[in-house]
Amino acid sequence: METKVKVRFAPAPTGMMHLGNARTALMNYLYARAHNGISVLRIEDTDPERNFDPGGAIIQDDLAWLGLTYDQGPGIGGPDAPYLQSERTDLYKQVRQTLEESGAIYRCFCSTETLDKKRERQKALRLPPRYDRTCCNLSAEQIQEQVVAGTPFIWRLRLNHEKTITITDLARGTITFELKNFSDFPLTRQDRTFTFMFANFVDDMLMGITHVLRGEDHLTNTAGQAALFDALQKPLPIFWHMPILCNLDGKKLSKRDFGFSLRDLKEAGFLPEAIDNYLATIGSSFGEEIMPLDTLAQKMRFGQNAAAQIKYDVDKLKWINHQWITRYTPEQLARVCRPFLQEHYANVAQLDDAQLAALLQSIKSDLNTLVDCVGALAFYFESPQISEADVRACTSPEHRDAIKEIVRSNLAMLSDATAFATAIKKEAQTKKIPLKELFWFTRLALTGMTNGPAIHDLVGMLGKNEAEKRIMHALELLQNSE
């Protein structure tokens, strides 16, 4: 019987989901869906200094926003509960006891200060900084003396330096590690808590994780964890060490890079569908670029990209975000844009959903992110501030009189926006007045900008009275500029 695919996303609760985390979560979600498997959320909260998000609540909210559900984990439960590592200490103790009884691990009494000095000396001698196994061969009597004396210690895995460990990676195929190149790494800290390396191994083993999908930066950890599986003679999962996200300069993304955190992107008006879409397709080639999660799960070629890094391009993300905005229904767009508008315009509360949806449809094609709606609709909520210089800049001296006459003579038609726009266009053509100047002037009067929605749309949005008031003001400025 073939083993069912089971993956896990295991973030530390630092309180901020960054793009690397989001991509790892996404790939695990897609892999599980593509193979009809099980996805697990597991919170790695064994390091109290990093636990700024108790229980991973923010992480769970971010995953829900991205549409990345999981089958087992906090809030859902499952056969391998609990899913917070801080609540799994007894399980780690049991596995550690088993390793102790088999002689696979040993106590290390070296102090942090001693280890630091040894490490600095090795660096000075241009040697790889590696634990020198001082405590590996202590006699039972020596160990008992230290224990009786209350000397702090940690547990280390006793690596067989004559051995090689082989793993299977979806991108690279077979990878072999020579254990002589690795240190006897710690399983515990001096406060008796368990390290990331050990807790991760125990959880993956006990939960029956079949595939570990994580970043390239975890590749060196994999050698140690593979050695732990070997020490207990347990089957290894299959791995995929995904390329690291870098900025356009090729440096690993950091807090200084816009969009590093998911919070940055949410506040900037990026849609979850666009973020998922971009993170799934970045660094790969697809015939179709805009795809929802279900389609991505079908189309993904997991492990195809064996590069060590891929470059994150905000402009490409904006393009994908624009494509998703155009796919939103009027009702969806109104719902997601309203919070951004409310931050700037109190009178947006006077618009019902249908009215706001209608407004947004007229500027939808100009939106790269949701925040853009604030500027694009500023003319509706606030009267534009234009000057004589503005109206002169968009009209030629030889056409100004004709433009004034055409616009003023048709003001009575403003109650029918389409009729007004058609009339001024027809009259301008008859008098051989450049349409671009006529429309620049009229749009400037209505919005404060020469580019934007069609004239009939603007008049329809503003209504006859407001449109007439703004046009009359612009006509006065044009009159005064002569």
Which residues are within 8 A (CB) of 113 and not within 5 positions of it... i.e. 6 or more apart? none
Give me the CATH topology for the region 388-480.
Arc Repressor Mutant, subunit A (1.10.10)
Using CA atoms of 189, 42, 30, 78 in order, give the dihedral in degrees to the nearest 10. Answer: 140
pLDDT, tens digit, for every residue of 172-198? 999 999 999 999 999 999 888 999 999
Whole-Å CA distances, 373 to 277, 406, 467: 22, 32, 20
Domain residue ranges in the chain: 89-242, 329-378, 388-480
pLDDT, tens digit, for every residue of 301-315? 888 766 667 889 999
Determine the average pLDDT of the residues in 405-419: 94
Three-state DSSP class for residue 211 = strand
Q: Is 80 left (phi over 0), alpha (psi -120 to 50) or beta?
A: alpha
**How high is the pLDDT of residue 90?**
97
- The residue among 343, 342, 337, 372 whose CA lies nearest residue 358 is 337
pLDDT, tens digit, for every residue of 28-70? 999 999 999 999 999 998 777 777 788 889 999 999 999 999 9
**How high is the pLDDT of residue 53?**
82
Assign domain 89-242 to a CATH class.
Answer: alpha beta
Is residue 269 over pLDDT 60? yes
Query: C-alpha angle 152/157/159, rounded to 5°?
Result: 140
Average pLDDT over all residues of the chain:
93
**How high is the pLDDT of residue 481?**
65
**How high is the pLDDT of residue 55?**
84
- The residue among 117, 107, 112 whose CA lies nearest residue 145 is 107
Is residue 380 over pLDDT 90? yes
**How high is the pLDDT of residue 47?**
75
Please state, for a pLDDT cut of 90, what percent of the chain lies above it: 80
Is residue 373 over pLDDT 80? yes
Whether cis (ω within 30° of 0) applies to the bond prior to 82 is yes
Q: Is 382 left (phi over 0), alpha (psi -120 to 50) or beta?
A: beta
Is residue 256 over pLDDT 90? no
